[in-house]
């Protein structure tokens, strides 16, 4: 079983749609969760980070964590063509240490005008 | 807004040659990382660096790889004798401190080994 699983997509939606992106993980020691956006041949751009179960909102983005189910989600409201990118979930441990990130494979999102 | 920078953006080298990839992390950050992403695959951890020494490395980070922080601003990844399979995007990342887990990534260096 992979440590972090993410549907690679592509996920195609019309402009204005609500997008739901998801990851599951197997290691219950993961406590800190991040979502990155990556445009083609560019570096990952941090969108959201959270370390507790529940929801965290930032503008059009909401990150949701369910540690009991080992499931995290990113919701994008009012999606725009400029949101077309690959979305990477990443997670790490919150204990002492140097906290390497473990990434999912990424979901490619296409928002059509 | 401070950001991580990397040079060069693209490096082409011949198999067996040495390459040095350079990064300037965000200035008040204390933890530094290298990751790589082979085309079409996921981002993979290579090495973390703190207090002027390697704190963790992956299986990928073998004796051909080394990292250095030669001064107060630069952070480098050296590949001593490149192989075809080293062709990938290499990302540098930095993190502020133990209380904040989020890592900020640079734009990457695309390494092509021919």
According to DSSP, the β-strands at B31-37 and B44-50 are antiparallel
Chain B hits for A103, Cβ within 8 Å:
42-44
Prior bond to B8 cis, omega within 30?
Answer: yes
Query: pLDDT tens-digit profile of B72-108?
Result: 789 999 999 999 999 999 999 999 876 667 899 999 9
Query: pLDDT tens-digit profile of B33-86?
Result: 999 999 989 999 999 999 899 999 999 999 999 999 988 789 999 999 999 999
Predicted confidence at residue A95, as pLDDT, reads 63
Indicate the length of chain A as a whole number: 113
Indicate yes or no: CB of A98 within 8 angstroms of CB of B48.
Answer: yes
Predicted confidence at residue A102, as pLDDT, reads 93
Sheet holding A61-66, edge to edge: A4-6, A19-25, A71-76, A61-66, A54-58
Q: Higher confidence at residue A29 or residue B8?
A: B8
Chain B hits for A44, Cβ within 8 Å:
43, 91, 105
User: What is the rounded distance in angstroms from the CA atom of residue B36 to the CA atom of residue A64?
Assistant: 27
What is the least distance, in Å, from the CA of B43 to any CA of chain A?
A: 6
- A94–chain B Cβ distance below 8 A for any pair: yes
Q: Which residues pair with B10 in a beta bridge?
A: B110
Q: Number of A to B CB contacts under 8 A, please give it.
A: 66
Contact A102, A4 (CB under 8 A): yes
């Amino acid at each position: 079983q992979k440590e972090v699983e993410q549907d690679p997509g592509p996920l195609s939606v019309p402009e204005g749609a609500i997008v739901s992106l998801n990851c599951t993980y197997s290691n219950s020691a993961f406590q800190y969760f991040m979502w990155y956006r990556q445009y083609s041949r560019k570096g990952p751009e941090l969108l959201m980070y959270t370390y507790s179960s529940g929801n965290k909102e930032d503008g059009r983005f909401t990150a949701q964590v369910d540690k009991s189910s080992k499931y995290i989600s990113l919701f994008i409201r009012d999606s725009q063509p400029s949101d077309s990118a690959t979305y990477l979930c990443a997670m790490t441990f919150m204990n002492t240490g140097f906290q390497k990130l473990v990434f999912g494979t990424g979901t490619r999102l296409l928002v059509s005008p | 807004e401070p950001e991580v920078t990397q040079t060069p953006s693209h490096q082409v080298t011949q198999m067996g040659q040495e390459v040095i990839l350079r990064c300037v992390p965000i200035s008040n950050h204390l933890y530094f990382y290298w990751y790589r992403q082979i085309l079409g695959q996921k981002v993979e951890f290579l090495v973390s660096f703190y207090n002027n020494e390697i704190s963790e490395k992956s299986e990928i980070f073998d004796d051909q790889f080394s990292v250095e922080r030669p001064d107060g601003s630069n952070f480098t990844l050296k590949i001593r004798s490149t192989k075809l399979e080293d062709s990938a995007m290499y990302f540098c990342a930095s993190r502020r401190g133990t209380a904040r887990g989020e890592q900020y990534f640079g734009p990457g260096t695309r390494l092509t080994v021919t």
